[in-house]
């Protein structure tokens, strides 16, 4: 069989009639979603800042005065006590993410010959061609503008900015503007939310080469042109926006599409090409369109393409913020779960590959969200728990970090593990790069201060008790949701206190934090031999649930490993075996795969991947859905899958390297190049069908690591600047 390279893109021979199947481009601020028929192309414009105004009441509940009584009741055995720990407000969602408008390009109906649409992951360009015309769309990381270049547009092309997208409020105030300019036209659309001064305005500069441009309200008509260039931005604002100034800024940009693309590629291509995965796939399968490849769930070519697409979409969604539940894209104003940043599982799963897959751009976006919310996290700690320090909410919208989304069934305001969970990716980044970001150090100190004030209650053995405690989004089989000593809370408190101490060595508070961590109770193993989701005696596990919060100590922490804590690892594995899929959410399957990889269970990794690949979770765009059958547009599977594949091949800590811990048996040969380890070395990995493998380590700092392979364990001394080649077996 002739070897070929993996495909860094995808294509389709038919138009995308549904926006969910539209190809995507993004720069972490603006997003573009390209779909439509050959004679009616649509580009939906999105921006991370676009959220519908809420109805007020976004402050955290003032409950601190009632906390001691609640703790007394829970410790006394009142299993439903936390249900009344509220200020009585109804469930209030965070502000919902929404699209801005669509750019409509309408032309006379043609023969529809030669239709093809494709997206090039290396450039971020979506290309559509038919009947002799071609449209290219990308979102510039250099100039923060959506670029669309249409060549051979035919006898006529009508262009307008259209706000009429599914779910748009009927009372939305809309205003259009269109003026001719010496080289084309300037279009604008102004949208103001009902009953609010909040608005957004989109501005598109149209530059034509040859032909004639005329106004045809609300847009323009161009005729006889050789090419049309559209440059689009959207701004969120209150009051009025100076459209003239926005147009002037767009006129300052080059009109040479090639120059605009080159400026963009210096940032986009450099990031995308750092890591590649080659699974020695069949060249014939690599050549298939994405929709056909999705029908071959055990195809190595499918995993190659989903890995590439996942990194591409994750990079495109990360900039101003990390990805939302829908990444950076939506074609509908009624986004599920508000299109929020869902902190208690989804956000960290989506960004799980950032450190290893060499995408610091993603981690910096994550850091920007976290550090921008810290003042609100302080409010949460003070208002709900009466403490210093910080408490993270379970949901946010990019504006507020206050904990105000909660209810009886989802007492998310009781979740105290969130700050550690959200800071863990920033710690991983620091370890990978051999630095300690002072922002991360300061935030960790605030988490530790919270625990100093909060962890004051003890059990009969003098061990600290986390009370109240909450395991997202599950409950014991014999108690209410708010309870005691959730395993995730214990792991988070231990990790936060010890990590804060490590970031502040030699200080008095470091000693206090280390001592406090030592007073927390151990995890509990239940009667089934499984690591219990709640370490409090008498609380019974509920196994059929999509979340795996209790296995936080396995992934992403290294509190529980087969190497250091084999008994706990065996209990964690038993807990994983007993875990159901709940409502079959994609994030639940892939979370199981990540935990299974850490526990060296390749069969369970393959099973979890199979549930997603065989469950019709991916649209033709290779963006994913939340449920099987492509139900509810959602980025969890698309963005998380690269992390799963990396974890099956390589895992690292600051002093350990594990190679081929959980490689599914059907991935018989391949290579993974450019990954980063948390001890500061780059790594290229290759393996063949005979089980022979080679690893090339390129250390950036001198370190001794514990190497774990199928052959056992050995100590490996690495010297900065000196490549180290290892030969080994995959099994």
Quick: pLDDT tens for 347-357. Answer: 999 999 999 99
* Position 153 confidence tier, pLDDT thresholds 50, 70, 90: confident
For residue 409, give both structure tokens: 């069934």
Q: What is the pLDDT of residue 2?
A: 41
Count of C-beta atoms within a 10 Å radius of residue 690: 10
**Helices 300-316 and 636-649: crossing angle, nearest 10°?**
120
Region 273-282 average pLDDT: 97
Strands 681-687, 692-699: parallel, antiparallel or unpaired by DSSP? antiparallel
Per-chain mean pLDDT for the chain = 96
- Judge: domain 64-94+298-649, CATH 1.50.10.10: yes
Q: What is the dihedral of CA 232, 234, 239, 243, to 10 degrees?
A: -10
The DSSP letter of residue 288 is S
Q: What is the pLDDT of residue 731?
A: 85
**Helices 487-503 and 418-433: crossing angle, nearest 10°?**
40
Quick: pLDDT tens for 621-675. Answer: 999 999 999 999 999 999 999 999 999 999 999 999 999 999 999 999 999 999 9
Region 40-65 average pLDDT: 93
The sign of the dihedral angle between the CA atoms of 621, 622, 625, 629 is positive
Q: What is the pLDDT of residue 181?
A: 95
Q: What is the pLDDT of residue 3?
A: 59
Region 486-506 average pLDDT: 98
Would the pLDDT of 57 be above 90?
Answer: no
Count of C-beta atoms within a 10 Å radius of residue 83: 14
Beta strands in 163-269 (DSSP E): 173-181, 184-192, 198-209, 212-216, 219-223, 227-238
Quick: pLDDT tens for 370-425. Answer: 999 999 999 999 999 999 999 999 999 999 999 999 999 899 999 999 999 999 99
What's the CA gap between 731 and 725, in Å, rounded?
Answer: 18
Task: Tell me what percent of the residues of the chain surpass a pLDDT of 90.
Answer: 94
Report residue 612 CA to chain centroid gap: 17
Q: What is the pLDDT of residue 452?
A: 98
Region 450-468 average pLDDT: 97
Task: Tell me what percent of the residues of the chain surpass a pLDDT of 70.
Answer: 100
For residue 656, give both structure tokens: 């350990």
> 715, 724 in Cβ contact below 8 A?
no
Query: Could you tell me the fold of the domain covering 9-51+97-272?
Result: Beta-galactosidase; Chain A, domain 5 (2.70.98)
Would the pLDDT of 531 be above 60?
Answer: yes
Q: What is the pLDDT of residue 55?
A: 76
Name which of 1-15, 362-376, 447-461 the model is least confident about.
Answer: 1-15
Angle, vertex CA 595, rays to CA 574 and CA 474, nearest 5: 70
Of 241, 266, 328, 281, which Cα lies nearest the Cα of 634?
328
Quick: pLDDT tens for 535-594. Answer: 999 999 999 999 999 999 999 999 999 999 999 999 999 999 999 989 999 999 999 999
Beta strands in 585-711 (DSSP E): 625-627, 631-633, 650-653, 656-659, 670-676, 681-687, 692-699, 703-709
Would the pLDDT of 1 be above 60?
Answer: no
What's the CA gap between 127 and 34, in Å, rounded?
Answer: 9
Q: What is the pLDDT of residue 4?
A: 74
Q: Please identify which residue in the block is written with the tokens 């979506």.
A: 126
Quick: pLDDT tens for 98-143. Answer: 999 999 999 998 878 999 999 999 999 999 999 999 999 999 999 9
């Amino acid at each position: 069989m002739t070897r070929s390279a993996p495909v860094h893109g995808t294509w389709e021979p038919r138009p995308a009639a549904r926006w969910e199947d539209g190809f995507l481009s993004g720069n972490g601020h603006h997003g573009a979603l390209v779909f439509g028929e050959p004679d009616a192309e649509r580009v939906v414009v999105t921006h991370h800042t676009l959220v519908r105004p809420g109805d007020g009441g976004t402050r955290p509940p003032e409950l601190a005065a009632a906390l001691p009584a609640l703790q007394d009741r829970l410790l006394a055995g009142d299993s439903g006590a936390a249900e009344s720990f509220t200020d009585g407000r109804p469930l209030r969602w965070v502000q919902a993410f929404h699209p801005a408008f669509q750019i409509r390009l309408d032309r006379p109906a043609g023969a529809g010959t030669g239709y093809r649409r494709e997206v090039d992951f290396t450039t971020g360009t979506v290309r559509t061609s038919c009947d002799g015309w071609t449209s290219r769309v990308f979102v510039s990381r250099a100039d923060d503008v959506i670029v669309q270049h249409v060549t051979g547009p035919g006898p006529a092309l009508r262009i307008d900015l259209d706000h009429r997208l599914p779910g748009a409020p009927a009372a939305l105030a809309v205003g259009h503007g269109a003026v001719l300019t010496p080289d084309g036209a300037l279009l604008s659309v102004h949208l103001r939310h009902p009953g609010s001064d909040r608005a957004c305005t989109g501005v598109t500069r149209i530059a034509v080469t040859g032909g004639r441009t005329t106004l045809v309200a609300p847009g323009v008509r161009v005729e006889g042109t050789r090419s049309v260039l559209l440059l689009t931005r959207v701004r969120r604002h209150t009051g009025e926006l100076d459209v003239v100034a926005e147009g002037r800024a767009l006129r300052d940009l080059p009109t040479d599409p090639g120059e605009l693309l080159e400026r963009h590629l210096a940032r986009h291509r450099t990031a995308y090409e750092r890591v590649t995965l080659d699974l020695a796939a069949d060249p014939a399968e690599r050549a298939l369109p994405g929709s056909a490849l999705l029908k071959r769930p055990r195809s190595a070519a499918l995993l190659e393409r989903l890995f590439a697409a996942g990194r591409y979409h994750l990079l495109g969604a990360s900039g101003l913020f990390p990805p939302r539940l829908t990444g950076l894209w939506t074609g509908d104003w009624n986004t599920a779960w508000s299109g929020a940043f869902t902190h208690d599982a989804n956000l960290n799963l989506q960004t799980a590959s950032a450190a290893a897959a060499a995408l610091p751009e993603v981690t910096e976006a994550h850091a920007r969200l976290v550090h921008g919310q810290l003042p609100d996290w302080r409010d949460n700690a003070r208002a709900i728990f009466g403490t210093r320090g910080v408490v993270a909410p379970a949901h946010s919208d990019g504006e507020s970090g206050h904990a105000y989304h909660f209810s009886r069934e989802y007492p998310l305001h009781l979740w105290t593990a969130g700050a550690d969970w959200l800071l863990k990716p920033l710690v991983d980044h620091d370890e990978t790069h051999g630095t300690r970001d002072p922002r991360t150090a300061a935030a960790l100190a605030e988490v530790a201060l919270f625990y100093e004030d909060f962890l004051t209650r003890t059990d009969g053995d003098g061990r600290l008790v986390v009370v109240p405690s909450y395991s997202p989004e599950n409950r014991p089989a014999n108690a209410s949701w708010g309870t005691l000593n959730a395993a995730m809370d214990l792991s988070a408190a231990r990790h936060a206190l010890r990590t804060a101490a490590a970031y502040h060595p030699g200080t008095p508070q470091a000693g206090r934090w280390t001592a406090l961590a030592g007073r927390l109770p151990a995890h509990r193993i239940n009667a089934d031999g499984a690591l219990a989701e709640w370490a409090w005696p008498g609380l019974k596990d509920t196994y059929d649930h999509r979340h795996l919060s209790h296995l936080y100590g396995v992934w992403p922490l290294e509190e529980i490993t087969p190497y250091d804590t084999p008994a706990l690892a065996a209990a964690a594995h038993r807990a994983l075996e007993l875990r159901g899929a709940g409502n079959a959410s994609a994030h639940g399957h892939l979370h199981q795969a990540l935990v299974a990889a850490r526990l060296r269970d390749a069969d369970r990794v393959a099973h979890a991947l199979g549930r997603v690949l065989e469950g019709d979770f991916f649209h033709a765009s290779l963006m994913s859905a939340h449920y099987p059958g492509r139900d509810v547009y959602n980025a969890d599977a698309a963005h998380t899958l690269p992390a799963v594949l990396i974890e099956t091949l390589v895992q690292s800590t600051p002093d350990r390297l594990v190679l081929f811990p959980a490689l599914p048996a059907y991935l018989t040969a391949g290579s993974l190049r450019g990954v980063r380890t948390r001890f500061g070395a780059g790594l290229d990995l290759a393996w063949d069908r005979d089980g022979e493998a080679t690893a090339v380590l390129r250390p950036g700092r001198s370190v001794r690591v514990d190497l774990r392979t199928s052959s056992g364990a050995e100590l490996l001394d690495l010297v900065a600047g000196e490549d180290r080649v290892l030969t080994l077996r995959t099994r």
